[in-house]
């Protein structure tokens, strides 16, 4: 595990043991975060994400970490920024209305290249909407923050995912010096199922690259320079790092403004994430060998999706392939295109009125005859809904 700034005291907190467990998604998320090295959690109560915060409040101090319930979601997100700057891995969890409040902080984190993890346990909107499940924030994840700033967003489908993807989220945030979103839903946060924890020393934990590690002295340090992913000094290390979110030069200077320097700043941010999509993004697939159609889904809908795909294959003889987007953003366009040669119909079931359908349709525009959205608001699709749609479309 990487160093913490919290000193040498001995704490009695123990990581979740290797083996078989039975946990709620919310708990699995926190256990993954602790293993990843989370030391600060700042949150605000909101249904259906409060369980993550409550679990963190109990566990964090066992490891000498610090938990705080802030006065609103805005300050919760901002607390993560300060914690990260001072060297701690930090996380919060919220739901859709709180996610809206955090967008300015997310934009700021992108521009200042601040590692942090935000879990959005999505619920329907707009407004208060309801307290059940949804995938209505998946576009907001990419475009909700102002400005052209790329981001990484993951979509967990199970309790195992809530554990593994949380660790992955921390690793990605540290490796790419960026905020990372976990786009969960009420379904997967409240679901209880088996969790298999591997031997702890087989779990890779990544910490941010430091200038000290690259032999860069404070005098020569460029907070936004040196490499595509700039090494990051923490507060208190004598590197005199200036975090700024006006368009800046590599040394953190916001003076000597030029369009050229401004554009270089933004282009590097994009190159860092969007340009690295094939390294960052993950997609899972089954039955693509000789499929006529393919079903593409993410999050809990992948549970229904796989059930439906197996049913249409086994009971109706339809050659349906299955793709699950583990990473929503950066959008894995090339990875998707490489998985599919040509199909007749692409089905995209989502717990919204059709959002990821758009980048999917664009990515596969020349690889399929049509893209059909299967929307559902407020609840997880049942397999009948998907099977009926597939039968309807494939028999005409």
Partner 1 sequence: MLKHPMLEYIKEEGSSGMRLPHILCPGCGAGQVLNYTLHAVDDLIKEEGVKKENFVFISGVGCSSRLTSHYLDFDSGWTIHGRSLAIATGALLANPELKIIVFTGDGDAAAIGGNHFIHAFRRNINVTVLCVNNGLYGMTGGQVAPTTLPFVNTPTTPYGNIEDAFDLCKLAEVAGASYISRWITAQPMQIIKAVKKGIANKGASFIEVLSQCPVHEHETPVDSMNALKEITVPVKKAESSDKIPVGELHFAPRPSWTERYESVIEKANQRLS
Partner 2 sequence: MKKDNRFEIRIAGFGGQGVVTIGKVLGSAFTIYEGLNSVNTRSYGPESRGGACRSEVVVSQGEIHYPSVRKADVLVALSQTALDKYMKDLKEDGILLVDPNSVKDVPKGFVYFKVPAMEIAHSVGNVKFQNSVVLGALAAILESMIKKESLKLAVSENVPPNTIEKNIEAFEAGWARIVTAKLAVAE
What residues line the site for partner 2 (CB under 8 A)? 20-22, 47, 131-132, 187, 190-194, 300, 303-304, 306-308, 310, 380, 382-384
Give the nearest distance from C-beta 136 to partner 2 in angstroms. 18
Residue of the chain from 250, 266, 283, 288 that contacts partner 1 (CB under 8 A): 250
Structure tokens at 259: 């369009």
Judged by CB under 8 A, which stretch of 3-11, 93-101, 126-134, 157-165 contacts partner 1? Answer: 3-11
* Binding string, residues 40-59; x marks residues near partner 1 by CB under 8 A: x-x---------------x-
- Helix (H/G/I), strand (E/B), else coil: 78: helix
Give the nearest distance from C-beta 43 to partner 1 in angstroms. 12
Judged by CB under 8 A, which stretch of 37-45, 160-168, 290-298, 316-324 contacts partner 1? Answer: 37-45
Residue of the chain from 54, 70, 270, 313 that contacts partner 1 (CB under 8 A): 70
Give the nearest distance from C-beta 251 to partner 1 in angstroms. 4
Q: Is 79 among the residues that bind partner 1 (CB under 8 A)?
A: yes
Give the nearest distance from C-beta 28 to partner 1 in angstroms. 20
CA distance 47 to 123: 9
Q: Return all residues near 263 (Cβ < 8 A) that are at least 6 apart.
A: none
Q: How many CB atoms lie under 10 A from the CB of residue 3?
A: 10
Q: Return phi, psi of residue 135, to 5°.
A: -125, 35
* Locus of tokens 């924030």: 137
Q: Is 75 among the residues that bind partner 1 (CB under 8 A)?
A: yes
Residue of the chain from 47, 130, 212, 237 that contacts partner 1 (CB under 8 A): 237
Give the nearest distance from C-beta 347 to partner 2 in angstroms. 16
> Which of partner 1, partner 2, none is residue 382 near (CB under 5 to 8 Å by kind)?
partner 2
Question: In this structure, are residues 116 and 84 in contact, taking their beta carbons and an 8 Å threshold?
Answer: yes
Judged by CB under 8 A, which stretch of 128-136, 180-188, 191-199, 251-259 contacts partner 1? Answer: 251-259
Q: How many CB atoms lie under 10 A from the CB of residue 123?
A: 26
- Helix (H/G/I), strand (E/B), else coil: 197: strand
Q: How many CB atoms lie under 10 A from the CB of residue 317?
A: 7
CA distance 17 to 35: 11
Judged by CB under 8 A, which stretch of 61-69, 284-292, 332-340, 355-363 contacts partner 1? Answer: 61-69
Q: Is 68 among the residues that bind partner 1 (CB under 8 A)?
A: yes
CA 30 remoteness from chain centre = 14
Q: Return all residues near 356 (Cβ < 8 A) that are at least 6 apart.
A: 138, 296, 298, 325, 328, 348, 350
Write out the H or E segment, with its range, that includes residue 76. helix 73-85
- Measure CA of the first residue to CA of the last residue in the chain; give whole Å: 57
Q: Is 172 among the residues that bind partner 1 (CB under 8 A)?
A: no
Write out the H or E segment, with its range, that includes residue 122. strand 116-122
Instruction: With CB under 8 A as the rule, give the number of residues binding partner 1.
Output: 62
Q: Per CB under 8 A, which of residues 314..343 are in contact with partner 1?
A: none
User: Footprint of partner 1 on this chain (CB under 8 A)?
Assistant: 5-6, 11-14, 39-40, 42, 58, 61-62, 64, 66-68, 70-72, 74-76, 78-88, 90, 104-105, 108, 112, 222, 225, 235-246, 248-256, 261
């Amino acid at each position: 595990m990487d160093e913490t700034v919290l000193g040498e005291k001995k704490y009695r907190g123990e990581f979740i043991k290797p083996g078989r467990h039975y946990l709620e998604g919310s708990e699995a998320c926190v256990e993954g975060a602790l293993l990843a090295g989370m030391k600060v959690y700042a949150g605000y109560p909101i249904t259906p994400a409060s369980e993550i915060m409550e679990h963190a409040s109990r566990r964090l101090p066992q490891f000498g970490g610090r938990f705080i319930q802030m006065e609103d979601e805005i300050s919760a997100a901002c607390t993560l920024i300060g914690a990260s700057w001072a060297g701690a891995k930090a996380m919060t969890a919220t739901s859709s209305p709180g996610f809206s409040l955090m967008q300015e902080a997310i934009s700021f984190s992108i521009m200042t290249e601040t590692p942090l993890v935000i879990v959005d346990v999505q619920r329907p909107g707009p407004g208060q909407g309801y307290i059940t499940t949804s995938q209505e924030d998946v576009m907001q994840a990419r475009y909700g923050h102002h400005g052209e700033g790329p981001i990484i967003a993951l979509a967990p489908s199970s309790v195992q995912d809530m554990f593994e993807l949380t660790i992955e989220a921390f690793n990605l945030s540290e490796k790419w010096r960026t905020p990372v979103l976990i786009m969960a839903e009420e379904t997967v946060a409240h679901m209880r199922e088996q969790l298999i924890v591997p031997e702890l020393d087989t779990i890779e934990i990544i910490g941010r690259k430091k200038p000290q590690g690259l032999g860069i002295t404070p005098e020569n340090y460029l907070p936004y320079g040196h490499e595509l992913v700039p090494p990051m000094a923490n507060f208190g290390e004598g590197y005199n790092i200036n975090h700024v979110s006006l368009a800046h030069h590599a040394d953190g200077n916001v003076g000597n403004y030029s369009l050229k320097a401004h554009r270089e700043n933004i282009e590097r941010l994009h190159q860092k994430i969007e340009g690295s999509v094939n390294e960052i993004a993950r997609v899972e697939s089954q039955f693509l060998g000789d499929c006529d159609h393919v079903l593409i889904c993410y999050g809990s809908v992948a549970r229904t999706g796989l059930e439906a795909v197996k049913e249409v294959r086994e009971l109706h003889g339809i050659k349906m392939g299955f793709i699950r987007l583990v990473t929503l953003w950066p959008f894995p366009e090339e990875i998707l295109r490489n998985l599919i040669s040509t199909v007749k119909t692409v089905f995209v079931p989502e717990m919204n009125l059709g959002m990821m359908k758009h980048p999917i349709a664009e990515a596969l525009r020349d690889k399929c005859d049509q893209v059909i959205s299967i929307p559902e608001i407020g609840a997880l699709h049942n397999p009948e809904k998907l099977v009926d749609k597939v039968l309807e479309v494939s028999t005409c």
